[in-house]
Chain A
Amino acid sequence: MKLLALKANKTSIAITSPSQFTVSLTVLAYLVAAGPHLMAMPRWLALCILVISAWRVVTAWQRWRPPHWLIRTLVTFSALGAVLASYGTLWGRRAATALLCVMVAVKLMEMFRTRDARQIAALGFFLVAAQFLFSQQIALLPYLLIACGLATAAMLSVQADDDRRRHPDVVARQNEPLKSGGSDWSRHLKSGLVLLGLSIPFALVLFAVFPRLASPLWGIPENALDGRTGLSDEMSPGAIASLYADDSPAFRVEFEGQRPEQSDLYWRGPVLWHFNGTTWSRLISAHTETPRRPTGNNPPLQYSVQLEPNERRWLFTLDYPVEWSEEARLTRDYQLVRERPVTRLISYSVSSEPDFIDEPQLDPTLRRAALRLPEGQNPRTLELAADYRQEYADDRELINAVLRWFNEDAFFYSLETLPLGLNGADEFLFDLKTGYCEYYASAFAILMRAAGIPARIVTGYQGGFWQQSSEYLLVRQSDAHAWVEVWLQGRGWTRIDPTAAVSPTRILENARRALNDTPGWMGGRWAQNLRNQFDRVQHYWNQWVLGFNAARQNELFSRLGLDRLSGPLLAVVIVLLALLTVVPLAFLLRGLGQTRRVLTPDQRAWKRMIQKLKPFKLQPRRAETPLEFAERAAVKLNNGQRLINAARVYNQLRYAHSDNISESLRASLQQASRNWRPDPNPELLNSAPVIRVLLQRMTTRKPA
């Protein structure tokens, strides 16, 4: 009895488990959907997932038994531990998606039932959507389509397996073997892609009309991006260096009207006041809202910025922002700061007034902050500052002298330099003399403070690349820059860029050009061009697809006149619009995976002949044989005999034994079908609409 029960159980497992093809397709769909997640994972974790997937496929083909539940439980817990070990938490997007990937991989180990295979296929869609929380590059569009197509194909395959299983009783009675699944790979893949393709119009309509949230329902976690951040809010010389190698876009700018000079493109970011000897950082008291907002009735610079997500709060602007569209406050040192970090692509428009005077009267507290230097550091720099001070009483002259020194002495602009020690400014100014913007800005600011001139450091981006035809400025991470602002009596805070004194090309072109740098063939000119072209596509993608938000949608609705509809009515219209796009398309599907009934050349030839009689409303009736039809039609035609002959030939071609069919017979039917033109009796002609007959005459070729 027990033996029997065991046996029954075994057969039922064998029958209800998905076929090898389905398993392989499902695993493939999972791996493709999880691909970008795997690449972002620690290598060894991704490797584990690959190994489990491979094991599952081999198991399906070798028909191994499912692993013991103890093993599965063990693997589940160790996978949980592995994610915890490599991320330190299960909270946060990367850790959560990694956990999901790992858990699906563990689920693969128990994918011995139809239901499990289905769930894995469905989770594929979720993995795809989850990837877009990290990046929405246009390059991911093929990934979206392929991964969704594969997941659909896997679901098709699972269902086809399910639909192939007849009841064992029936199989026994009808003497039909149980089919264990066919090699329908290509069919399922094709059907999956067809389904996906047909649902694209539906998705597009919903995309355009589905109501968007004007403000998020819940907050956005801070660590949304994979550390792909731009500038930080601190600066210690040597830190931005990693940014110079990063060619990814930081933001894009479109100017309305006047375009500033390349050398005026200083995109203001964090302003750093406090220097502790190695690191510059922000000043809390300068971070409060400014009491003096720049005003200008007609600010000369109008532009809109499309800012890539960077997980920072500040918005980059040119000096000095007057009005801006994004919800943000302007600080005392004229940074534009948002309440929440930028975790997705945002776009804002700004107008700037470059001639605004920043703090004509310097507040004593701020002055103290702008002059403070750590005790007992950089003695040589302090000495130099004292010398300069003695020589030049006027602040401006002193600054010019220092810049001249930078320009004329053997200072070099290079990314390949050494980190600085405790007396950083001394080392740099007197020994190293080689560095990049941070080195110069830091040393210059220290020198100024030592000379009694209030100074602070501004970080941000400088310059950018003008796309030739589409009129926008692309600012890359590699355009990151640091400069100095000094406070001068009568002019307020004034921008001084010591790097420009050393390497004017850095300012006029960009860092890479300034370094005279050709890093291999990938960095070659043509590759650069290609990248610029690609960025243009990405720009439009950002603008029209990713930037499509509630505001844009309202604009679209009002253009379509939909804005007058009330909420429920709008919902109905949306649903109808979406259905209208999908349902007619569904009729194209004459049963998924079905091959269309293909007519033989003979059938086509005969059909063509019949078609020519359509204007006279002479068509075969139901269950009328070709010959019967020809005889009935011939009565009404002057040249009916040829139709009868053709019908006889057709009958022979179609129903006679294939040995008796000669190629010449076939050719004669083809010829008749091409050349024959119905010549109707006057009686028939009268009964047919003239216009149709004329049309028919015009469209059929005359016999050669």
Chain B
Amino acid sequence: MWSGKSWSTRPLTELSQTDPGSLKNRLDRLFARWLKRRGPVTPPFRLNYRQIFILPTGFGCLLGAIAFAMLISSLNFNNNMGLFTTFLVAGIAVLSMHIAYRNLEGITIRQCTAEPVFAGQDLALLVRLSEDSNRLRSGLRLSSQDDARTDVIRLKPADHDQMMLTLPTVERGWFKPGRLTLATRHPLGLFRAWSVFWPEQQFLVWPKPADQAPALPLSNRLNSGEKPGDEGDEYHGLRSWREGDPIHRIAWKASQRHQDLLAREFTQPVQDELLFSIDQTGVRERERAISIVTSWVLESDQRGLQYGLELGAVRVDTGSGRRHRDRCLNALAELP
């Protein structure tokens, strides 16, 4: 529930304090079990009466109190116009309750996706919704378990859209978004209708890069890597001749047997080939060591070096490029 006061990001330590035995968590689990028996609660699923809850908001209670005061005083003085006004207010409230329910009913929660992030950054969770009842859905508010972060959209009739929830991450590894709530207070803010769901997916959070990492362990180079070189380097093989290749590189003899001209290709042994391991960091604290390796990976990637990982049982062969970097980061994130 977003009170509209501020979007205070809670101290990270507080978030990580989850005591599975606490009463609140036990109740949460009971509630989840009960809800899961009632119907699907993991996307994709369509919201219906089994998943939608509705209760008056604080403002709804206030209006209720005002209406009650109106009712009692009008009844006492047998003031019929006052009574009629009271009943009008009651009618508006009942209608708004119904509209709030129908604002959620029939929405399909399609899927949840998120790009990986480094620990400590906010994970931008995207939740896709679609609407097929040809009704406008105003004021849909998505919030995370602790209600700290919310997003609100307006879903057009027969349309789909996505909502974004920025969830704070604390540590590397698989991140579970936990319980998410889709709620609405449309139209008058008197009632809050809501549905909870648990995304099935888990999202990988990469380790946080160390702030002051030691320099890259360049001494530990491998000699197996190569990169395209010039004459004088090791002869590598043949490839089709391309415009711009020097004429003296054309392998005339080989070309005779082919349709195209072939050019000789040479490679240069690469000096900057790196294979990182935890031990190289020289730090005893494991998480700190992983952080350092992470920052090495990022730095090598930036400098365009060839690098790999040697993490005990897990090994990532050397390589470069964005996909290689992600592979390395994933491996680091998943380390036990």
Contacts and interface: CB of A to CB of B under 8 A. Distances in A.
Interface stretch (A37-45, A375-383, A578-586, A681-689): A578-586
B4 interface: yes
Contact of A159 (B124, B151, B185): B185
A660 interface: no
A526 to B, nearest CB: 30
A196 B88 contact: yes
B73 A129 contact: yes
A216 B77 CA distance: 6
A399 to B, nearest CB: 46
Interface of A is mostly: helix
A163 B88 contact: no
Contacts of A670: none
Contacts of A148: 85, 88-89, 92
Contact of B6 (A12, A163, A204, A206): A12
A591 B144 CA distance: 26
A202 interface: yes
A12 B6 CA distance: 6
Contact of A162 (B84, B99, B189): B189
A113 interface: yes
B138 A591 contact: yes
Contact of A160 (B80, B139, B164): B139
B160 interface: no
B87 interface: yes
B152 A165 contact: yes
Contacts of B311: none
B166 A169 contact: yes
A502 B165 CA distance: 91
Contacts of B72: 217
B15 interface: no
Contacts of A589: 95, 99, 102
Contacts of A155: 188-190
Interface in A514-552: 545-546, 548-549
A107 to B, nearest CB: 13
A594 B138 CA distance: 10
Given A148-B89, A591-B103, A591-B138, A132 B74 contact: yes
Interface in A580-614: 582-583, 585-586, 589-594, 597
B117 to A, nearest CB: 12
A166 B152 contact: yes
Given A123-B66, A133-B73, A582 B124 contact: no
Contacts of B46: none
A657 interface: no
B170 interface: no
Interface stretch (A207-215, A255-263, A421-429, A476-484): A207-215
Given A128-B85, A158-B189, A206-B87, A212 B76 contact: no
A125 B154 contact: no
B90 interface: yes
Contact of A196 (B66, B92, B151, B153): B92
A199 interface: yes
A167 B137 contact: no
A244 B122 CA distance: 80
A203 B151 CA distance: 36
B76 A217 contact: yes
Interface in B80-127: 80-92, 94-96, 98-99, 102-103, 122, 124
A126 B74 CA distance: 11
Contacts of A113: 4
A701 interface: no
Interface residues of B, number: 65
A430 interface: no
B70 A129 contact: yes
A14 B78 CA distance: 46
A210 B99 contact: no
A253 B1 CA distance: 60
Nearest to B187: A592
Interface string B154-194: 10010000001110000000000000000011111110000
Interface in A166-209: 166-170, 173-174, 191, 195-196, 198-204, 206-207
Given A12-B5, A122-B59, A582-B91, A218 B78 contact: no
Nearest to B93: A199
Contacts of B135: 590-591, 594
B150 A167 contact: yes
Contact of A152 (B87, B90, B149, B188): B188
Nearest to A8: B6
Given A159-B188, A216-B76, A586-B102, A167 B89 contact: no
Given A195-B96, A589-B99, A159 B137 contact: no
Contact of B91 (A119, A169, A199, A220): A199
B88 A160 contact: no
* Listed residue (B78, B151, B152, B185) with the most chain A CB atoms within 10 angstroms of its CB: B78
B59 A118 contact: yes
B138 A593 contact: yes
Contacts of B122: 169
A164 interface: yes
A136 interface: yes
A218 B103 CA distance: 43
Interface residues of A, number: 77
B106 to A, nearest CB: 11
B62 interface: yes
Contact of A546 (B81, B98, B139, B189): B81
B136 A125 contact: no
A165 B7 CA distance: 12
Given A168-B7, A590-B136, A125 B186 contact: no
A312 B74 CA distance: 21
B85 A593 contact: no
B70 A115 contact: no
B27 to A, nearest CB: 27
A205 B198 CA distance: 43
Given A122-B59, A195-B96, A220 B77 contact: yes
Interface in B35-76: 59, 62-63, 66-67, 69-70, 72-76
Contacts of B138: 160, 163, 591-593
B80 A207 contact: yes
B95 A586 contact: yes
* Listed residue (B74, B84, B86, B98) with the most chain A CB atoms within 10 angstroms of its CB: B84
A90 interface: no
Nearest to B63: A122
B88 A199 contact: yes
Contacts of A597: 134, 157
Contacts of A174: 164
B24 to A, nearest CB: 25
A16 interface: yes
A129 B82 contact: yes
A317 interface: no
Contacts of A169: 7, 122, 149, 164, 166
* Listed residue (A123, A545, A582) with the most chain B CB atoms within 10 angstroms of its CB: A582
Contact of A594 (B95, B136, B139, B164): B136
A125 B103 contact: no
A207 B90 contact: no
14 contacts: A122-B63, A133-B77, A156-B188, A163-B185, A163-B186, A199-B90, A199-B91, A213-B78, A217-B75, A344-B77, A582-B91, A586-B102, A589-B102, A592-B138
Given A129-B73, A206-B91, A594-B135, 17 more contacts: A16-B4, A115-B4, A129-B70, A159-B188, A162-B139, A167-B150, A170-B151, A173-B124, A198-B91, A213-B76, A546-B81, A578-B94, A586-B99, A589-B99, A591-B138, A592-B136, A592-B138
Interface of A: 8-9, 12, 16, 113-115, 118-119, 122-123, 125-126, 128-129, 132-133, 136, 140-141, 144, 148, 152, 155-156, 158-160, 162-170, 173-174, 191, 195-196, 198-204, 206-207, 210, 212-213, 216-218, 220, 343-344, 545-546, 548-549, 578-579, 582-583, 585-586, 589-594, 597
